[in-house]
Structure 1
Amino acid sequence: MAQDSRDDTKRRLLDAAGEVFSRQGFKAATVRTICRMAGANVAAVHYHFGGKDGLYAALLTEAFENGLRRHPPDLGLPAGAPAEARLFAFIHSFLLRMLGEGKSAWCGKLMDREMREPTQALDQVVERHIMPLAAQLRAIVADLLGNGAGADDPQTRLCAMSVAGQCQYVFRSKAIIDRLAPGMRFDEAGIRALAGHITGFSLCALKNFAQHAEMADKAAGAL
């Protein structure tokens, strides 16, 4: 088999797998369905990926890498950009990777399924991609807190989780949001506006965190 033909088959298998896995999940999806959609022989999955597990792991890696190439977490900001700008870029890129449309729209759906129904492939994705992204967000949050705590401080981690949680909520609850706020758009302009809101909301919280955290502790202690 010529190299170009092998590469084309591999590409078609990955594209078909993206559609099938994101729609059906890893357990329900079958190699036969993927190969039928890709116009490939079932043996091709074993030849190129070693089986269904290998195909899925390769797909998860590609989904993350493609998303990061298209929408890097700094969105091309120069080195030394203000923490506020870096936070907006991080949030905006996160939302673009999760909510973006087009040919690779299944990437966000695939990752959502993986979070809800984790497979063995998740460990590799976390180590290779999610951990560096989480560390980058924590570094931004630590700069914004300005309290001398480092990126690995427990409060910094919790604040970073709160920022990321806002982004994840929009994606995971989109069906509900469509009903509660039918006029809300998730096109390019809508995603940018949403990123601006989450950034503004997060900045207000982070810059007043120490004061309000103390008040919350007092309130909790009074219960």
Structure 2
Amino acid sequence: MNLDDLKDRVSTELRATWDRIQESAAYNQMRDRYENMTPSMQKLTFYGSIAVGVLIVLSIPYGYFSGSSDAVGEFEGKRMTIRELLKVSREASEVPAIPQAPSIDSLRSTVDSMIHSANLLPEQIKGTQSTTSSAMIPTNLSEGGLQITLAKLNLRQVVDLGYKFSNISPSVKMSDMTMTANREDNRYFDVVYKLVALAVPAAPVIATEPEAPKKGFSRGGRKAAPGSDE
């Protein structure tokens, strides 16, 4: 079918449709009402009909535009979400694994060793005691804590011991440090260090399937029988 035949067919169908509309009772009723109107009302109805027709025609591309705008907004939202997930995944993969915290007894032994290596006098060591709570770390995230009390430290000793205590393990954090001037000699300081062992969950153990036993063969290529000396 060529273009001329298509045009003739469309024109014929439109004329037939228009004839059916003119023959309908609704059209004749509306036509009678229109003819009985005053000239001003006829003009108003005419322009109103044109405006309604224009709105109907424009509503079609507007609907497509609105739908495409919603699709673009949804796409951009999903793209932003994917970018955030990739960023979080990349940052999570870059975070080093934190080892499990040592037990309180092991932590106390390490601290005592550090204090001994600092060559402190006996009267400077006031002792260490276990603690169970910290204002900074919730109880469910802590395995316990240790409070270290030392006296008559010079400023260099305060800094050195604090640095050593805070670097015992990535899972051991210094939650507090209180430093006051010594009452007997204000050139020295009495210091209380508070360490907290974090409750780091153990890494999941991946079960591996046991390897199947290898079948033995004799030197001649034949399968060795059980109990055979071959």
TM interval, short-chain normalised: under 0.3
Please, what TM-score do these two structures have when normalized by structure 2?
A: 0.20
More strand by share: 2
Higher relative contact order at CA 8 Å, sep ≥6: structure 1 or structure 2? 1
